[in-house]
Amino acid sequence: MRSKGFVQALLGVALAMTIAPPAAITQDVPPTPGPQDIPQPVPGDIGLAGAPRPDITRFLNVQAASSPSLSPDGKQLAFATNITGQRQLWVVDSRGGWPRQLTFGEDGTRFHAWSPRGDWIVYGTDRGGNERQGFYLISADGMRERELVPASAAFREFGGFSPDGGRIAYATTAEGGSAFEIHLVDVDSGVDRRVLAGRIGLFVAAWNPQGTKLLLSETRGEDANDVLLLDLASGKLETLFHPRVAAAYGGFAWLPDGSGFYLTSDEGRDFAGLAFYDLATRSLRFVETPDHDVESVTLDGDGLRLLWTTNEGGWSVLHGRDRIADKALALPPMPPGIYRLEQARRAPVVALMVVGPRIPGDLWTWRPGEAAAVQVTHSSLAGLDEQRFVVPEHLDFPARDGVMLHGLLYVPAATAAGTKPPLLLGVHGGPTGQARPSFRAVSQYLLRRGIAVFDLNFRGSTGYGKTFARLDNRRLRPNAVRDMADALDFLARDGRVDAAHAAVMGGSYGGYMTFAALTSLPERFAAGVSFVGVSNWVSALEGASPQLRASDRFEYGDIDDADDREFFRQLSPITHIDAVRAPIMVIHGANDPRDPVTESDQFVRAIRARGGRVEYLRFPDEGHGVRKLSNRIITYRRVAAFLEHELGLAQ
């Protein structure tokens, strides 16, 4: 998935480059990339807490806690936070208290998981965002640490601890290859062995409770996968799910006796329901089939309490069932937002992560039978008043061909009398992502400055059914670009924002959509900001990372087919570069393995060669996105100043 976040002009930095006549610029085009494209830190004052106009840096210093992982006994909670400026691993008592930081590496962590034995926490880290992870073990007190799987040139995906905590499973590319092998590593000895030869797009989904089998997920497009069962003793590989019409399977939660597992699936339906798979009869039956996607399924270690969430207009709704009594659980009230769940292996403790427009990310724990959940983390809002953070309205509207589109509209709390706020159209990554009501520092800053934000769920987005998610596959992809124009038309009719005065911004696939908006709809947008986007689908698909190649075949087509290749060429914004009229800002990390930085290099070079206005931020120590706080401050100060200037708000 290509996904996977602003103030007056910076001191001494000019926002706009004067457009030179085409005949004059051929001799003076700066090299791309060049020294001028490597961002340099710029000091600045973030202003006083409670100030009527806080600097963007204050919004970027809002903190969040995420990725809850409970110790087996439920007494401790591991989590991630970027309070130090980089995503690091912390541990806190599950009823709250003062947390302690465990990791301190320059590149932070990408994931973590508590061992079922309780003695270790495993975490992964890469180098400068290159997504080539090494795996490391650290004790809960932070006093012992060792390397388990050293970093290398291989791409790796963690596959979980065995139930006894003695082994980990992971998927890894072979030397110089794109297929993923399945490996097991003995935690105590460090002995690493391959248990399955490489296949494209193959990853570990779950262990069975006895530690004798692995559920494997094989990519079948951006929004679908097949499921296989690997017997570790015999090496037998059996396909459990491979329907004629591709479907999605996830959230695997085994019964303790290994007789079957709960999961989410949209097999034979448009929305993902809650299902149960019986291993003895090899049969799937649906337990809950709402007209919304079921997400985040968990089962406690005793197999008694089943919890899940549904995605309703982007918001999470919590559900639970006592399996033995066959009745709904009495659940604690939770603040509105997007939820992630985990249950302890050997104790009745549930961890819940909540993120929403007014909750940047915090963790709660709940013990079934108690009326309320306990808030364990209290992330800093950097002196900002959460009541001033804007909550969006979910809107549905028809595209020109009748397809129902969706989006989240954020309207500034106040605008000058008789005026409508200018608009930032946000386009998410994926394309099978979804704009959901999370906390976005940049959006909340722009709203404070009087810019409305509409996060568009164009066709191809998830959260609105399987049919909708596949309406942009292959040759249908240009329709999603036209959805941006239809969104502006709808917002103009709605009347609350100035849709004729709009900019567009997105990252990853949203970066491509930004390039496409400025080349395909040049008269509709006053400016664009592209993060880690694709400008040339031919070169992007040829250079895609192994994680993407399997899904790319289904989502886009075959780059080696002559007709497909010509379609990709016509689809590419670089092909239509002469149409660009609006100024653009481009941001990319030099270590990006998903959308190579050359995608932005060539687009910026082409704009400059034509005398267009472009700002380029090319970070040597970032990958597919901007993770480090110092780099985020550089980025979003420039982005904020750029958008405020181009939308007429700079003073």
What span, in angstroms and rounded, lies between the C-alpha atoms of 90 and 73? 17
Give yes or no: residues 343 and 458 share one domain: no
Under 8 Å between Cβ of 33 and 353: no
Asked if the structure places residue 359 within a domain, the reply is yes
Q: What is the mean pLDDT of the chain?
A: 91
Q: How far is CA 24 from CA 27, 580, 614, in A?
A: 7, 19, 17
Give yes or no: residues 343 and 376 share one domain: yes
| pLDDT on residue 564 | 87
Q: How many CB atoms lie within 10 A of CB 249?
A: 25
Give yes or no: residues 371 and 444 share one domain: no
Strand order in the sheet with 498-507: 393-398, 404-410, 452-457, 422-427, 498-507, 527-531, 584-589, 614-619
Give yes or no: residues 589 and 623 share one domain: yes
383 vs 6 pLDDT, higher one: 383
| pLDDT on residue 21 | 34
CATH value at residue 272: 2.120.10.30
| pLDDT on residue 85 | 85
Under 8 Å between Cβ of 632 and 5: yes
Output the six-digit token pair for 100: 């302690």
Asked if the structure places residue 455 within a domain, the reply is yes
| pLDDT on residue 129 | 87
- Residue whose pair of structure tokens reads 């706009």 in the numeric block: 16
What span, in angstroms and rounded, lies between the C-alpha atoms of 382 and 368? 33
| pLDDT on residue 550 | 60
| pLDDT on residue 545 | 66
* CA 212 remoteness from chain centre: 32
pLDDT for residue 321 is more than 60: yes
List Cβ neighbours of 98 (8 Å cut-off, separation of 6 or more). 92
DSSP string, 22-74: HHHHTTTPPPSS-GGGS----------TT-SS--HHHHHT---EEEEEE-TTS
Give yes or no: residues 480 and 516 share one domain: yes
Give yes or no: residues 442 and 420 share one domain: yes
Asked if the structure places residue 110 within a domain, the reply is no
Strand order in the sheet with 283-288: 249-254, 260-265, 273-278, 283-288
Under 8 Å between Cβ of 240 and 225: no
What span, in angstroms and rounded, lies between the C-alpha atoms of 197 and 587? 38
Q: How confident is the model at residue 576 (pLDDT cuts 50, 70, 90)?
A: very high
Give yes or no: residues 357 and 404 share one domain: no
Q: Which helix (H) or strand (E) holds 120?
A: none
What span, in angstroms and rounded, lies between the C-alpha atoms of 627 and 57? 15
Q: What is the DSSP letter of 621?
A: T
List Cβ neighbours of 536 (8 Å cut-off, separation of 6 or more). 572, 573, 574, 575, 599, 602, 603
Q: Which domain holds residue 254?
A: 247-380
φ/ψ of residue 355, rounded to 5: -135, 135
Q: How confident is the model at residue 13 (pLDDT cuts 50, 70, 90)?
A: very low
Q: Cis before residue 431, ω within 30 degrees of 0?
A: yes
Give yes or no: residues 284 and 424 share one domain: no
pLDDT for residue 553 is more than 70: no
Asked if the structure places residue 490 within a domain, the reply is yes
φ/ψ of residue 302, rounded to 5: -90, -5
| pLDDT on residue 628 | 87
pLDDT in tens, 350-393: 999 999 999 999 999 999 999 999 999 999 999 999 999 999 99
Q: What is the DSSP letter of 103?
A: -
Give yes or no: residues 431 and 564 share one domain: yes
pLDDT for residue 549 is more than 90: no
Average pLDDT on 12-31 reads 42
| Alpha-helix runs per DSSP H in 509-628 | 509-520, 537-542, 546-555, 562-571, 598-609
Average pLDDT on 315-329 reads 95
What span, in angstroms and rounded, lies between the C-alpha atoms of 128 and 113? 22
pLDDT for residue 25 is more than 80: no
Lowest mean pLDDT across 25-29, 296-300, 434-438, 444-448 = 25-29
Asked if the structure places residue 76 within a domain, the reply is no
What span, in angstroms and rounded, lies between the C-alpha atoms of 627 and 10? 21
Q: What is the DSSP letter of 469?
A: H
What contacts 24+ positions apart, CB below 8 Å, involve 45-51? Answer: 49/382, 49/383, 49/384, 50/383, 50/385
List Cβ neighbours of 49 (8 Å cut-off, separation of 6 or more). 58, 382, 383, 384
Give yes or no: residues 365 and 389 share one domain: no
Q: How many CB atoms lie within 10 A of CB 472?
A: 24
What span, in angstroms and rounded, lies between the C-alpha atoms of 642 and 636? 9
Q: How confident is the model at residue 605 (pLDDT cuts 50, 70, 90)?
A: very high
Under 8 Å between Cβ of 356 and 335: yes
Which of 351, 380, 409 lies at the terminal end of a domain, its last residue?
380
pLDDT for residue 17 is more than 60: no
Q: What is the pTM of this model?
A: 0.90
Question: Which amino acid is present at 259?
Answer: S
Give yes or no: residues 365 and 425 share one domain: no
Which of 380, 409, 431 lies at the terminal end of a domain, its last residue?
380
| pLDDT on residue 9 | 28
pLDDT in tens, 150-204: 999 999 999 999 999 999 999 999 876 789 999 999 999 999 999 999 888 899 9
Under 8 Å between Cβ of 628 and 621: yes
| pLDDT on residue 651 | 52
What span, in angstroms and rounded, lies between the C-alpha atoms of 594 and 544? 6
| pLDDT on residue 221 | 83
Give the whole-number percent of the chain exceeding pLDDT 70.
Answer: 93
Q: How confident is the model at residue 53 (pLDDT cuts 50, 70, 90)?
A: confident
Asked if the structure places residue 85 within a domain, the reply is no
Average pLDDT on 385-409 reads 96
Output the six-digit token pair for 377: 């983390």
CATH value at residue 470: 3.40.50.1820
Asked if the structure places residue 621 within a domain, the reply is yes
Which of 380, 411, 434 lies at the terminal end of a domain, its last residue?
380
Residue of 269, 279, 233 lying closest to 249 (CA atoms)? 269
pLDDT in tens, 63-119: 999 999 999 999 999 999 999 888 999 999 999 999 999 999 988 999 999 999 999
Give yes or no: residues 508 and 526 share one domain: yes
What span, in angstroms and rounded, lies between the C-alpha atoms of 225 and 219? 5
- Tally of domains in the chain: 2
Asked if the structure places residue 50 within a domain, the reply is yes
pLDDT for residue 606 is more than 70: yes
